[in-house]
């Protein structure tokens, strides 16, 4: 207890030097929590958007379908199985048919994917109901990214060309019935959505689908021959890899921030031992052992981190709260990335994250404070009384 009281008095006696170290440590702590919270907020927000817009409660893929291999689209589709048909009729699943095509906006050529979905579906937030209306023309919807890439607007008409199941090319004019805005790029980039029955007829694939989106909260996913169930562990695998990579890359920034703060504490401890040689000798002369003095200086250095946690809570809490409430705007151009990224990311700070970061900062500060303090243990009693450190 004596060591803590002496350490506290020594810190207060150091004045501005102590508070500068405390501020630097608290700044590093707040930035560490903020950076981690941004990645965690992105992770939670992106998965929520993907569930709402793209994957629902999971999917069934045709056994030959591979969304990363366009060559699989021709054979990667089949008749909707009876088990899925029952779910479809009860509103618990919606089939999607995928086909390659070419669009010709303003005379330019662009390879795209045609995707068919039921306009009356309620499984995902896709505004498929916009495709209802005039049946004399093929109504389609596109995402905001596709609209910018092709310079198409609502009610524009454009020619598309596709190949049916027999390998025969065909072409027709479609009407852009609506443009939707979604954070999920994988349902937007180079894609045009059509009514499912219309696309099945165009491609001579009546009753066929490439994959099935299931309703969220569906209790069971039966085994269906020829179809493979894909849960969140598979559907989010690529995104989880991105998040892990970002955490690894961010760890370098975390290390630099923490090292700069710890360097200030280390320099302070070295300078303190050098300037307080007579004080160290006095402590030993009064009966303290050399290791008790080492412990005193270690505690003194470590208390910087305790004060830093308190200071960080005082000025960092309002800042982190405002960021979580109003979000952090992403720079323009990120919407063209191939993964889910919202215009604003709302950081999420868990109590576990804050505690872990605080413990890391305090432990690292204690270690850095102990390293230069070990020199005191090498002092000879006679030299200590003279205030000379070897």
Give residue-wise pLDDT tens across range 139-155. 999 999 999 999 999 99
**Residue 327: its pLDDT value, please?**
83
**Residue 42: its pLDDT value, please?**
85
Percentages of the chain per state (helix, strand, coil), in multiples of 5: 55, 20, 25
**How far apart are the C-alpha atoms of 33 and 14, rounded to whole Å?**
28
Strands (E), the chain: 59-62, 78-79, 93-104, 110-117, 138-143, 157-163, 169-180, 191-195, 208-209, 211-214, 227-230, 328-329, 344-345
Q: Tokens 């000879």, residue?
A: 380
**Residue 381: its pLDDT value, please?**
56
Q: Point out the residues of the chain with pLDDT beneath 70.
A: 1-8, 10-15, 219, 269, 271-282, 284-286, 331-342, 374-390
**How far apart are the C-alpha atoms of 125 and 382, rounded to whole Å?**
80
**Residue 384: its pLDDT value, please?**
54
Residues 45-101: tens digit of each pLDDT: 888 999 999 999 999 999 999 998 988 888 899 999 998 888 888 889 999 999 999
Strands (E), 24-92: 59-62, 78-79
**Residue 35: its pLDDT value, please?**
86
Q: Is the pTM higher than 0.85?
A: no
Question: In the beta sheet, which residues pair with residue 157?
Answer: 175
**Residue 4: its pLDDT value, please?**
63
């Amino acid at each position: 207890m004596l060591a803590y009281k002496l350490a506290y008095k020594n810190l207060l006696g150091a004045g501005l030097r102590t508070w500068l170290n405390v501020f630097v440590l608290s700044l590093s702590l707040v930035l560490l929590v903020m950076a981690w919270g941004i990645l965690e907020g992105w992770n939670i927000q992106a998965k929520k958007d993907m569930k709402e817009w793209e994957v629902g409660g999971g999917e069934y893929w045709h056994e030959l379908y591979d969304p990363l291999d366009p060559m699989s689209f021709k054979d990667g589709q089949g008749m909707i199985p009876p088990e899925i048909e029952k779910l479809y009729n009860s509103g618990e699943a919606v089939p999607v048919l995928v086909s390659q095509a070419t669009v010709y906006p303003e005379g330019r050529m662009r390879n795209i994917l045609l995707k068919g979905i039921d306009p009356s579906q309620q499984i995902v937030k896709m505004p498929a109901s916009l495709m209802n209306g005039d049946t004399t023309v093929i109504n389609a919807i596109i995402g905001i990214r596709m609209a910018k890439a092709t310079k198409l607007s609502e009610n524009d008409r454009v020619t598309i060309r596709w190949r049916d199941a027999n390998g025969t090319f065909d072409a027709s004019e479609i009407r852009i019935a609506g443009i939707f805005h979604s954070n999920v790029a994988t349902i937007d980039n180079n894609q045009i959505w059509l009514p499912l029955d219309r696309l099945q007829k165009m491609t001579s694939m009546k009753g066929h689908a490439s994959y099935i989106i299931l309703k969220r909260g569906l209790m069971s996913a039966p085994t269906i021959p020829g179809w493979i169930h894909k849960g969140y562990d598979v559907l989010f695998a690529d995104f989880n890899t991105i998040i892990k990579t970002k955490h690894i890359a961010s760890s370098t920034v975390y290390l630099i921030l923490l090292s700069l703060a710890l360097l200030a504490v280390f320099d302070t401890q070295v300078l303190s031992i050098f300037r307080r040689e007579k004080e160290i000798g006095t402590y030993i002369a009064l009966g303290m052992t050399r290791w008790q003095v080492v412990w005193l200086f270690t505690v003194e250095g470590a208390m910087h981190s305790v004060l830093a946690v308190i200071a960080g809570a005082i000025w960092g809490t309002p800042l982190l709260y405002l960021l979580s409430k109003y979000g952090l705007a992403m720079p323009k151009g990120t919407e063209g990335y191939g993964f889910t990224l919202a215009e604003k990311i709302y950081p999420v700070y868990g109590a576990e994250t804050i505690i872990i970061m605080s413990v890391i900062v305090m432990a690292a500060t204690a270690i850095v404070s102990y390293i230069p303090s070990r020199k005191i243990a090498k002092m000879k009693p006679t030299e200590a009384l003279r205030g000379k450190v070897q």
